[in-house]
Structure 1
């Protein structure tokens, strides 16, 4: 065989300088890619970001018939994505092929695409995720005796640890499926480095879940960050579409919605939804578009809606529209985008024109009045800011040719307080010096919800000093538990069923005026042109009761260092209780038996109390911690003995639903701020008179009169006043579901601006 001396040397061989350039290379041979490379390429087309992975998992959960979805996110989903549902589950026999490509229970032949009615159908989501993340699936069907847990790597079952088998393992779990995605894009470093901010990725996840929470009216949604107790999204299954929009997008848009519904058999579509009216606008169009139940985006429909609203809204103003479009499946092609973000359907222009025409007619019907928000400067503020008589900065000047000054002066009876920080009601009170305060040493045997009497002498070990600075909080790396207890779900649904929409609207759109009476726990708020008195004690009870149900099993912790003696605390509570004969309980065998009975009951149930309520009690009877319901507020620890004592006889321990209900109610009563003692004006005047007779000044007399209020009481008063304005009332606006009982006993209208002006006009 002859050897060609002019043949090209092997690739990588050094060439001498005199060697000429390489001749024209020949065509490269075509080779089949490695299956692992193929799967990673496919995964990069489907799972572009953590939000796309979660979207696929949410759609699978809804397809499985779930009525509750809970999502846990860490580092924007790159570190952890966990979704838990209560759907039908996955059979153990299907787990080995669960993460293989093109394995699905929703499609058998290509013709089925013409009538597809589910979210997923190609069987690529889990397969793609398993190639770029560590995937764990825990599932249980209705007929299975236990749950099964499987680990996947590159589309196939993988062992939990090296050397172990790959078969699914038995595990504890309720019906449904929990999918955990860890270290997303761990083997695609270029893609992982492309994400600039975990907060931005989390906001995308919240936006996507919010869209499905509005559309899936029968499904409860919950989404929170890992390590945080409060949820970014918490929607109950029984909530209406408007309530879901109010929770996700705010009350300002929910209060200005109009419903629409239209259909046309010629184009084979039905459309329904909610759209904002002419009184609401935003900087960008918010379009929640669902076609056959699938969240998609359509540039043509978005532009058509903007054009429709341009006739009703000012320039550069845009609407909010939730549109659910049902089209004959044979007219829709859903298999046009890897992430199913876009779909094609026949007669798109005709359908879009029909929907926009119907919305335009709806807007024209209600366009009889407009609401405009205006902000005016107070005359006193203008005088103080500019005493020279020249216009204040920012005030439009009259044109050079104008000789007459004109001003559009609004009617005073329509002026509405728009900024709660402009002036507080307390600024109108005359300053008064501190006085002596006597605290009661007894408490009622059966306080009403939100009522308390917390003046009992506290043991030095539970005496609490409130610092003047901001409290320090420690965030622990503890995974949130998933609660599927039917009893807790029924208690939450009972709160929603008893809700009062009118009162909820008042609390969603109020302006805080100030605290009126600290002894009776009354505060003033303004909503519209009406002034209300709110029993913030009862409102706090409703808030803490609902927080206790929402955060069930995931409470924060207030720790005692060193731990407190449970029996000693119970003895303090018994000492402050009066018997029927009016005599104080003293030491004796009856007291020891009562203390031992309550303590034994709590110690016996310590595991349940710690797991569900973060109330930690050691087997030897030491109280280590109590639950934390809301950050920034510390409950009155002088009420701790009474709270622990009432857990014995007042909690229905033998009934699951009754136990949780009564315990959370007692916890809410414990957290309600105590009634603060009022300043005794008569005692103050008497002290001032005596000081003046002795030749002392009025200011010195006032300072002497303040010696009756100790530092702890004064600090507690400051702590509660701050919590009322900056913690409780903002929580009322964002988290409280107002009930009918709160409307009956917790709110009273005291003034109506229009009515007051009619009275003044008659005078």
Structure 2
């Protein structure tokens, strides 16, 4: 085999080499502007990284209060205001040049560095990829000075004006404004998925420093909004900060830990959750020498430590502040200072984990467990709540064989089924199609699986409950209470679900006492979801779409269907484009109100990110989403607050009502209501199973707890009595 020496495999070829020219290209020095932009891309990789650098500079300046303002995830605007020492006017000319810093004089100073920053590249990098302005005032200065920067140098605020700093009014400290981040790096800017994701990262970063910097007040909010996402006072303790940022469920289960070892030159302290708390993903707030960093080795070691105390797939919340002798730490190993190296890493990690393990073992006796109220062979209790059970033996006063009072035997006409887990009449019926014994066993096994509750994963976010003080919402709630039908409400609160009778007509059967009722579960679900919308107002969950949906495409789809229906009915048509654009404009203009009260997240460009989640365990039919969005335009009375909330919640309830499902193919010919399951569409079958499980395990149990049955349900025939056990006994007695 001959080798091609001139063209070895794997060698890259440029376009200008294809012409046969073999002359080597000359080596040239890159332009300084190109060098600076490359360096900026390595240091500022996202808006949250720019914010991290600015927070560290502010804390280094001795600030006790930090205010962060964000617009469009930091890409449009990122502003941080502090009350630190400020910057001298004479230093503003070189503020944004590379490697200009007040924290480092010679290379040996790295061995004892005790500040967050040291290289002097953060502001320089930002100025090369964004429009940067600085307003600062020192204690001795009579006024504040404002300067604008472009590519590391002073730049005029407007064309034709001088670039020198200008005197302005201002308070002591520094305000740094970053606008149009990555405006000259379009590839990097297009890589960001959504502004909300970037804002969540910023909130997470501000929260980490708010927990660690216990003497500094933090606030963070979106531009144009009056309320703040984070508001931490300076005098708040570490536990109070965690409570506000990560929720009371974390703060209530925290334990303090602190250890040190002069042999390895470290000391650490922090807060960690005990064995009563666990989440799906570890939350680790790691600070080494007061710098927020990441360490996969420390994370893995902590997770392994907790694995002996938490259930499977359970993870902890840990805040760890580790101080190591600066001479043992190398901080100059990552452009963004996200990682550091230190000596005796394995020994230090082992010492920390052993200390945490000892703390967990010491408080392990406080772990709580929930047990069932009805033990095998025990007496029946009419309580649905889970409580700790203690078994005690009490001797009888009449001896070992003491007499016990025999309970009265109930009459047969008062015996009713009160437990939905007991054997049902459907289990006694033969299968719809004959088959072998093995097939019958498989069918019964599948039937048992269909009775299990569907497992749906949810992401839980700890946040404070918004107490609704709107008069309009309180009036709507009062109207529901005034329209309550007491007898029907009692029936629903004590009913037993029997089963779905007709999915096409949305009819189910339930048992109330000794009576059997047919229920129009479509109308009952509408009333229930409307009441949920009122009681959980401004506290909804969210169903998020990834990627987000184009709201105009959804509206156009619904409008075309409405136009086809109007044409079939012989009605007058309409302009689809005008209707779509008008509806989209209404929703986009009211997106802030929809997000605050209903968890509708709509971007200014018309992307639908989320819709409200009313109840866990049941997902509405997404195929109804286009028509639901289209009806929000003309059917919601936007100008009046009370009518706006009433009509919008009713449209939301209609969207959540289970849809009318077609019968199984062949069900009408059989006459038994059972069709051929083999010929049914898989998606339709999955949706039918989901609705059945939701009705039995989610919705009807929810009716027991919180449904206020209104008089309209009784008047409209939504609940009809079809049998009475005592009445049936009288009939059989006559026979």
Normalized against structure 1, the TM-score is what?
0.49
Taking the TM superposition and a 5 Å limit, the aligned residue runs for 1:195-234 are 195-234=192-231
**Pairing 1:602-681 to 2, within 5 Å after superposition:** none
Whether 1:132 aligns to 2:165 is no
Say yes or no: does 1:57 pair with 2:54. yes
C-alpha deviation, 1:388, in angstroms: 8.9
- Contact 2:137 2:170 (C-alpha < 8 Å) held by counterparts: yes
The 3 A distance-change label for structure 1 pair 204 and 431 is closer
Alignment check: 8 A CA contact 2:68 2:219 kept:
yes
Match of 1:313 among 310, 313, 324: 310
Secondary structure of 1:260's counterpart equals strand
Checking the alignment, whether the CA contact within 8 Å between 2:278 and 2:316 is kept in structure 1 is: yes
Equivalent residue pairs, number: 406
Q: Secondary structure at the match of 1:30?
A: coil
1:185-584 counterparts in 2 under 5 A? 185-372=182-369, 389-390=422-423
CA-to-partner distance for each residue in 1:568-613, whole Å, 9 max, x for gaps? xxxxxxxxxxxxxxxxxxxxxxxxxxxxxxxxxxxxxxxxxxxxxx
Structure 2 residue matching 1:274: 3-state secondary structure: strand
Distance of 2:147 and 2:312 partners within structure 1: 56
Shift of 1:298: 0.6
Partner of 2:39: 42
Give the unaligned 5+ runs of structure 2: 1-15, 375-380, 386-415, 427-443, 446-464, 468-476, 487-534, 536-592, 599-641, 650-735
1:369 deviation in Å? 2.8
Cα deviation for residue 23 of structure 1 reads: 3.6
1:230 deviation in Å? 1.2
Q: C-alpha distance in 2, partners of 1:172/1:307?
A: 55
Find the aligned partners of 1:632 and 1:198 in 2 and give their Cα distance: 20
CA contact (8 A) 1:69 1:84 kept: yes
For the residue of structure 2 that corresponds to 1:352, the secondary structure is helix
Residues 528-585 of structure 1: CA distance to partner in whole angstroms, max 9, x if unpaired?
xxxxxxxxxxxxxxxxxxxxxxxxxxxxxxxxxxxxxxxxxxxxxxxxxxxxxxxxxx
1:169 match: 166
Q: Are 1:116 and 2:113 matched, yes or no?
A: yes
Instruction: Provide the rounded CA distance (Å) in 2 between the counterparts of 1:49 and 1:191.
Output: 9
Structure 1 runs of 4+ with >3 Å offset: 20-24, 372-389, 424-433, 630-633
Aligned to 2:589: none
Q: Which runs of 5+ in 1 are unaligned?
A: 1-14, 394-398, 401-418, 434-513, 515-627, 634-714, 723-763
Residue 385 of structure 1 contacts residue 392 of structure 1 at CA under 8 Å; is this kept in 2? no
Q: Which residue of 2 aligns with 1:159?
A: 156
In 2 relative to 1, CA 26–304 (structure 1 residues): closer, same or farther, beyond 3 Å? Answer: same
Q: State the 1:385 CA deviation.
A: 9.2
Deviation at 1:390, TM superposition (A): 2.6
Question: In 2, Cα distance between the equivalents of 1:379 and 1:68?
Answer: 55
Deviations 1:311-368 (A, max 9, x none): 1011110011100000000000000000000000000000000000000000001111
Q: CA deviation at 1:26?
A: 2.0
TM-score (normalised: structure 2): 0.51
Distance (Å, rounded) in 1 between the aligned partners of 2:95 and 2:372: 60
What is the distance in 2 between the residues matched to 1:278 and 1:388? 33
Seen in structure 2, the aligned counterparts of structure 1 residues 24 and 367 have a Cα distance that, compared at 3 Å, is same
Structure 2 residue 140 is matched with structure 1 residue 143: yes
Cα distance change of structure 1 residues 30 and 253 upon mapping to structure 2, 3 Å threshold? same
DSSP 3-state at the match of 1:202: helix
Q: Distance in 1 between matches of 2:29 and 2:485?
A: 88
Check 1:38–1:369 CA distance in 2 against 1; reply closer, same or farther (3 A cut): same
The residue that corresponds to 1:25 in the other structure is 22
Instruction: Note closer, same or farther for the CA distance 1:376–1:178 as it changes in structure 2 (3 Å cut).
Output: farther
Q: Tell me the distance in 2 between the aligned counterparts of 1:222 and 1:267.
A: 37
Tell whether 2:124 aligns with 1:91: no
Q: Which has the higher contact order (CA 8 A, sep 6+)?
A: 1
For residue 271 of structure 1, give the secondary structure of its aligned residue in structure 2: strand
Shift of the 204–375 alpha-carbon distance from structure 1 to 2, 3 Å rule, reads farther
Asked whether the equivalents of residues 373 and 383 of structure 2 are also in contact (C-alpha less than 8 Å), the reply is no
Q: 1:255 to 1:392 in 2, by over 3 A?
A: farther
Q: Deviations over 1:262-283 (max 9, x none)?
A: 0000000001000100000010
Contact 2:282 2:303 in 1 (8 A): yes
Secondary structure in 2 aligned to 1:180? strand
Task: Give, in whole Å, the separation in 1 of the partners of 2:19 and 2:232.
Answer: 68
Q: Distance in 2 between matches of 1:166 and 1:430?
A: 70
Alpha-carbon distance in 1 for matches of 2:318, 2:18? 65
Q: 1:374 offset after TM fit, Å?
A: 7.7
SS in 2 for 1:367: helix
**In the TM superposition, what is the alpha-carbon distance from 1:389 to its structure 2 partner?**
3.6
Would the aligned equivalents of 1:43 and 1:129 in 2 still touch at CA under 8 Å? yes
1:167 Cα deviation from its structure 2 partner: 0.4
- Which residue is 1:74 aligned to? 71
Kept in 2, the 8 Å contact 1:386–1:392? The answer is no
Q: Within 2, Cα distance between the matches of 1:83 and 1:290?
A: 22
What secondary structure, in the 3-state scheme, does the structure 1 residue paired with 2:87 have? coil
When residues 316 and 166 of structure 1 are mapped into structure 2, their CA distance, relative to the original with a 3 A threshold, is same
Shift of 1:631: 7.7
Counterpart in the other structure of 2:517? none
Query: What is aligned with 1:179?
Result: 176
Residue by residue over 1:399-428, the C-alpha shift from the partner in whole angstroms, topping out at 9 and shown as x without a partner, is 99xxxxxxxxxxxxxxxxxx99xxx99999
Q: CA deviation at 1:431?
A: 6.4
Cα separation, partners in 2 of 1:348 and 1:387, compared to 1, 3 Å? closer
